[in-house]
Structure 1
Amino acid sequence: MSLTSHLQELKKKHDTLSDAVEKEQRSPGSDDLEVSRLKKEKLHLKETITRLTSV
């Protein structure tokens, strides 16, 4: 897998997580732990993307 395609896949996952966080936060009775877990995963992906693009 090339770096470009890997970055595209990571960005796609990041966008999917963004949508999941928004959906979870809008739902009544949302699970704060799940929102927190999704946000941490999203942050980890963003840090990975940043690290790979700054090489």
Structure 2
Amino acid sequence: MFGKKTIEDVELGGKRVLVRVDYNVPLDTNLNVTDNARIKLSLPTLNYLIS
């Protein structure tokens, strides 16, 4: 059975990549992010694409 391809399975050199990320994070009453887990989890993907 074939799995889903990851960004490491595709040749992306010299190509433009559009990334959609759900940053629907909880905020406190002062609009400060109270849980940045989703942001932190997306960093490896973004760093991979930048490099």
Query: Taking structure 1 as the reference length, what is the TM-score of the superposition?
Result: 0.38
**Larger RCO: 1 or 2 (CA < 8 Å, sep 6+):** 1
